[in-house]
Amino acid sequence: MNTFAHKVRSSVAVSGTALLLAAAGFGLAPAASADESQPPVLAVDTAAPAEVGLAGLPVDFTTKVSNTGTTDTSSARLTYRIDGGAGLPSNAVGLQYRLGGTEWKTVPLTYADGTFSGEMPETFPLAAGESRTVQLRIGVPMGTPHNGDGNGGTQRLKLTTLVSYGASGAATGTDDDTVAVDGLGTRLSGVPATVTAGGPAAGFEATVTNPTASGYENVTDTLITSRYASVQVLRDGTWETLAPVTSDAEADVYGFDVIGKDASLAAHSSTVAEVRVTYREDTPAGKTTVRSCAYVNQGAVPFRGTTFCGDEATLTVLAAGSTGGTPSPTPTASATRTPSATPAPSASSSASAEAPSGTSATASGTSGATTQLAATGSSATPVIAMAAGAFVLAGAGTLGAVALRRRRTRA
């Protein structure tokens, strides 16, 4: 009992001393108390990619998080906002990450008013004075494999990275980056000015170019031409006759897949197909056109997917048996990836039954045509379809001819 009483008296004495020191403005552990009162100070630096491809595969980048304060944190959090303008559909953007190992995991994104946002599902500890780099990759898939969306496009993404700590702490650091968005280019070269019905074939080249940092999968390059045409492509030294591709919704549109279906294109690469076209003897004389369109993630329905079309070339079909002059090539536009209108063709009993055609809007610098690509009006139809004429809604029973092909000049 005496021992117990002694311990109680000692505890009371220590407590009393502590109260006196506290009243005098002192603390028992001043250094530790000061550290505990300082929150972590986190900074973030994202090395975003310079460019990605519309409907292409994702491109890798990194985010570095640094703890510049004097207090450790057990849960650093990363949040991303991606603004692509109101011209993008809700399935347009994808973001993935990995903290370690080889498995890529998805950052869930929500979409509202042209902006995608989401938080990386995993947090990580970060000691004072330390940093950690997170691997990520971003893409503009415009849908899913074999289900590409042709409704919309953009020229750039504004990527904002925010870092915070704790369960619901406010961001302590942000970083803003701009990612350019480009797409595939298609062109025809060496198309002759004239061809004779029932006569020799007209030979030329069809080229698909990928100028972007994204690889591409499920690419189908289709030559759109007259229902009177027969098309061959040179493969392994042999001319192979192609079966025409048609759609119930586009009875007068005939396509020929000149590089095969679901081809792949590496970043900064191109592929060229040697093509020759003949026209049946009963082809009426007059003008007809040929045009190359690349479809990404085309499904079972032809002419649907994220679509890039080059300028059309015009041939004059001479009557069968005609002895016109020697065919001479007509210059065809290079793949400048400028917005190009492609209205749906109308069924017609006329002889030419040409591929869909339209006008082109030249995009130079920051002209109105280019700046309106990511803008929308008050209706659900983007302004791009009206002002720049860049696409026709693929789901509306028309040929989805998106022409979001822009060459950018980087500073």
- Residues 190 and 329 occupy one common structural domain: yes
| CATH number of the domain bearing residue 210 | 2.60.40.10
Q: Please list, in sequence order, all residues whose beta carbon lies within 8 angstroms of the beta carbon of residue 381, skipping any fewer than 6 positions away.
A: 393
DSSP-assigned beta bridge partners for residue 55? none
pLDDT band at residue 253 using 50, 70 and 90 as cut-offs: confident
Domain membership of residue 285 (yes or no) is yes
- Residues 177 and 189 occupy one common structural domain: no
- Residues 189 and 329 occupy one common structural domain: yes
Domain membership of residue 356 (yes or no) is no
Q: What is the Cα–Cα distance from 106 to 102, expressed in whole angstroms? A: 13
- Residues 112 and 204 occupy one common structural domain: no
- Residues 149 and 123 occupy one common structural domain: yes
Picking from 145-159, 307-321, 391-405, which range would have the lowest pLDDT averaged per residue?
391-405
- Residues 158 and 49 occupy one common structural domain: yes
Q: What is the Cα–Cα distance from 362 to 401, expressed in whole angstroms? A: 17
Average pLDDT of the residues in 64-84: 96
Higher pLDDT, residue 110 or 25: 110
Express each pLDDT in 102-136 by its tens digit: 999 999 999 998 899 999 999 999 999 999 999 99
pLDDT at residue 321 is higher than 90: no
Burial bucket for residue 108 (CB in 10 Å: 0-12, 13-18, 19+): exposed
pLDDT band at residue 276 using 50, 70 and 90 as cut-offs: very high
Query: Which of 312, 335, 358 is a domain's end point?
Result: 335
- Residues 129 and 229 occupy one common structural domain: no
Count of structural domains within the chain:
3
- Residues 175 and 196 occupy one common structural domain: no
356-390: b or e for each residue (b if 16 or more CB lie within 10 Å)? bbbebbebeeeeebbebbbbbeeeeebbbbebbbb
3-state secondary structure 83-145: ECCCCCCCCCCEEEEECCCCCCEECCCEEECCEEEEECCCCEEECCCCEEEEEEEEEECCEEC
State which residues form the domain around 226: 185-335
- Residues 147 and 276 occupy one common structural domain: no
Instruction: Report the mean per-residue pLDDT for the chain.
Output: 77
Higher pLDDT, residue 159 or 336: 159
How confident is the model at residue 275, as a pLDDT?
98
- Residues 308 and 168 occupy one common structural domain: no
Say if CB 42 and CB 163 are below 8 A apart: yes
Q: What is the Cα–Cα distance from 96 to 103, expressed in whole angstroms? A: 10
- Residues 230 and 282 occupy one common structural domain: yes
Q: Please list, in sequence order, all residues whose beta carbon lies within 8 angstroms of the beta carbon of residue 348, skipping any fewer than 6 positions away.
A: 252
Highest mean pLDDT out of 114-128, 312-326, 341-355: 114-128
Q: What is the Cα–Cα distance from 53 to 67, expressed in whole angstroms? A: 34
Q: How many CA atoms lie within 13 A of 179 on its CB side?
A: 30
Distances from the Cα of 334 to the Cαs of 258, 305, 308, in angstroms?
18, 23, 13
Query: Which of 273, 301, 335 is a domain's end point?
Result: 335
Q: What is the dihedral of CA 160, 163, 166, 168, to 10 degrees?
A: -20
pLDDT at residue 79 is higher than 90: yes
- Residues 199 and 308 occupy one common structural domain: yes
How confident is the model at residue 260, as a pLDDT?
87
φ, ψ (nearest 5 deg) of residue 198: 75, 5
pLDDT at residue 352 is higher than 90: no
